[in-house]
Every structure is written in C-alpha cells, then in structure tokens.
Amino acid sequence: MKKNKISSNIYLFIIFIFTYLPILSLIVFSFNESKSLTVFTGFSFRWYQELFINREIIDAVVTTITVAIISTVISTVIGTLAAISLSKQKKVFRDITFSINNLPILSPEIITAIAFFILFGTLAITRGMTTMIIAHIAFSTPYVLITVYPKVRSLDSSLIDASHDLGATAKQTLFKVIIPQIKPAIIAGAAIAFTMSFDDFVISYFAASGSTVKNISIYLYTLKRGIEPTVNALSTLIILVIGIKILYDLFKGRKIKEKKIK
C-alpha cells in the first residue's frame, strides 16, 4: 500500500510539472526586466506598462471579448431553445437533428473555416467582426445544445404539467419552471461557448480574412518578431482572471453546501 501511495504521488508530481511548469515559466518571465524569454535578468513591471499602451494588443483583446460575449449569448439562447424544442419531438427527428448538429463538432476545424470563407465570399459579404461573430455562433451552438439537452430530458414532466394545470402560459412555464431547473447546464454550455470563442484561431482567421479585425489568436499569429514579452504579461492577466473565477466558484460552492447542512 505504501509503495502504491508513493508511486501515485510521484505520478501526480510528474503530471503537475508537465502541466503547470510552462504556465509558471510564462508568469515568471512576464516580470523579466529584459526581452529574454530564457534568462531572467531582474524583476520589473515594464511589460505590463507597455501592454496597456500597446494599441494593437488592446484592440485585439477588446475584439476577442466582444466577439466571445455576443456569440456566447446568442449561441446559448439558440442552443437552449433548440434543446427544449427537441425534447418534445419524435425520436426519428431528434436523431436526424443530432446527426446534423454533430457535424461541426466532428469535422476538422479547418473544414468549417474554409466553408465559412467560401460562404461569405459567395454571398459577397464583407469579412470583419460581423462575419467572425456569425461563424462563432455557428460553431458554438452545437456544443450548447449537446450540453443542455440531457438536463432538459431529465426534467420532471410533472412540474411542467402542474404549471399548465395552475394556468401558467407557455412563456411563464419556460421562464419560471424549465429554465431555473436547467440553469446549471445552461451556464456550463455558455462557459464552453465562451472558452471556444475566446481561444479560436482557425475559424476566426478565415471568417475575418482580408480585414483589419484581429482577435488575440490572430494577433499572435501575425507577430513577425516572435512572441513578445507583452504577450507573457497579457497571458498572466488572463490566468489571474481565470484563477479568481475558480476561487470564487469554490468559495460560493462551499457557502451553498454550508447553508444546506444548516
């Protein structure tokens, strides 16, 4: 038993090293005084100062967040309503719909990107932020649908029936009975949609091809002199925000558990 425990600890340590050492290295060198990404010459906030005066990076961050928020909200609404609607359909129709829905998920991202490139070109739509948002909505919605649908299917139908018996309209039942019950799945679907949009490069690159619109991924790709230290600073700030969100969720979760116990 002791040997197994030691082996498990070593295994976990190796996993943590491979997973978090690159992130730790990135954070450390974001405070490096020089441009070197391999030799730490001294502690400094220089790259954070330059980050906030770099107009190109700021524009890329604003574009990324704007596209992610808009596409997440729309894809979450579409995916959630589609999940609710599908739960009421016949099995044959559901199977066909899910087969179509899973195509963008199973297809290589480059195929989807080229498809959007051809579509926007054929329709003579000027590529830019609007086309990027449309593309992000299209590839995010299937993930929301498959995340929300199982929760919808597990709903207690007696609650919906009781709502109708008490005189509630379809709209009241949706917002006061169904959505509160599936809220965790909606949040999970929205989180997936936001993460995918925030991190996307291939589809974004083709959807905004020929325009001056750049998200963070496209900005990094277009750097001619390699990764700049300001990118380390930006990445560190993103990690900080994610870390705060995780800690907040953990703290909130414990508070909810404590209330339930009381």
Task: Report the CATH number that the domain containing residue 120 is assigned in CATH.
Answer: 1.10.3720.10
Predicted local distance difference test score (pLDDT) of residue 5: 66
3-state SS of the chain: helix, strand, coil percent to 5? 80, 0, 20
Percent of the chain with pLDDT over 70: 94
Contact indicator for 104, 113 with CB cutoff of 8 Å: no
**Is the residue at 187 inside a domain?**
yes
With cut-offs at 50, 70 and 90, classify the pLDDT of residue 48: very high
| Spatial distance between the Cα atoms of 105 and 108, rounded to a whole number of angstroms | 8
Mean pLDDT of the chain: 88
Q: Is residue 209 part of a domain?
A: yes
The alpha carbon dihedral of 219, 221, 223, 224 has a sign of: negative
pLDDT band with cut points at 50, 70 and 90 for residue 207: very high
Q: How many domains does the chain have?
A: 1
Instruction: Please compute the mean of the pLDDT values over residues 99-119 and round it to a whole number.
Output: 91
> Does any domain span residue 139?
yes
pLDDT of residue 139: 93
Judged against a pLDDT cut of 60, whether residue 1 lies above it is answered with no
Where residue 258 falls among pLDDT bands split at 50, 70, 90? low
**Residue keyed to tokens 């005084």:** 33
pLDDT greater than 90 at residue 172: no
The answer to whether position 22 is within a domain reads no
- Could you tell me if 190 and 144 are in contact, meaning their C-beta atoms sit under 8 angstroms apart? yes
Tokens of residue 115, six digits:
């498809």
Please check the confidence at residue 228 and state whether its pLDDT lies above 90: no
Which stretch, 48-52, 70-74, 230-234, has highest mean pLDDT? 70-74
pLDDT at residue 262, as a whole number? 59
Query: Taking Cα atoms as reference points, which of 261, 242, 239 lies closest to residue 250?
Result: 242
Q: What is the pLDDT of residue 176?
A: 87
In the prediction, which pLDDT does 149 show?
94
What's the confidence (pLDDT) of residue 8?
A: 76
Residue 231's domain comprises 31-261
CB within 8 Å of 236: residues ≥ 6 apart: 26, 27, 30
The model's pTM is 0.84
Residue 68: is its pLDDT beyond 90?
A: yes
What pLDDT sits at residue 104?
86
pLDDT at 21: 86
In this structure, the dihedral spanned by the alpha carbons of residues 159, 155, 80 and 164, taken in order and rounded to 10 degrees, is -20
Cα-based distances in Å from 17 to 12, 13, 75: 9, 6, 36
Q: Is 147 a domain residue?
A: yes
**How confident is the model over 162-169, as a mean pLDDT?**
82
Backbone φ and ψ for 32, nearest 5 degrees, come out as -70, 140
| Cβ neighbours of residue 183 closer than 8 Å, sequence gap 6 or more | none
> Considering the domain boundaries, does residue 8 fall inside one?
no
Q: With residue 18 as reference, give the H or E element that holds it.
A: helix 2-29
Structure tokens at 59: 């524009």
CA distance 101 to 95: 10
What's the pLDDT score for residue 259?
Answer: 66
Asked, for residue 245, whether it belongs to a domain, the answer is yes
> 20 in a domain, yes or no?
no
Q: Which pLDDT score, from 0 to 100, does residue 111 have? A: 92
Average pLDDT over residues 195-224: 90
Q: 152 with 87: CB under 8 angstroms? A: yes
- Residue 256: pLDDT over 70: no
Contacts of 41 (CB under 8 A, 6+ apart): 32, 33, 34
